[in-house]
Amino acid sequence: MNKVINNEGFINVSRAIKCACFTDEYNHGKMRSKFDDLKWSIDYEQDFLIELCNFCAQYNILFETDEYFNTDGFEPLYESDINKMLELLSEYDFKLISALLLVYSVTC
């Protein structure tokens, strides 16, 4: 599991979910529903991948257009982050990695 939780893509995607969905100062409702979409799609690999890609795209759009997202703690997601996350999802048990991603985004 160390290979997973220390993976740069895993860290950056989970941090993006946390910053966008659970940061108190950014509670405009823009991204909180995206976490719920990820959570409810976790049992269906294709649906989860679609929701994850949608989240990453929406997060980067907000990063570029929203003043709040251009402050400390918020970093854009890069193609390499997404690719590393997708590699983990295909290399290991999909449901386990998906669940870890969501847990880490809430707790770490």
The per-residue DSSP string of 75-91 comes to -PPPHHHHHHHHHHHHH
**pTM (2 decimals)?**
0.89
Tell me how crowded residue 44 is: count the other CB atoms within 10 A of its CB.
12
| Contacts of 45 by beta carbon, 8 Å cutoff, 6+ apart | 94
Query: Model confidence over 9-62: pLDDT tens digits?
Result: 999 999 999 888 877 665 555 678 889 999 999 999 999 999 999 999 998 988
Q: CA 95 to CA 38: how far, in whole Å?
A: 12
Instruction: Quote the CA–CA distance of 45 and 47 in Å, as a whole number.
Output: 6
Looking at the 3D structure of the chain, how many domains does it have?
1
Looking at residue 75, its pLDDT comes to 82
Q: Which two tokens stand for residue 50?
A: 């679609």
Q: Which residues constitute the domain of residue 28?
A: 2-107
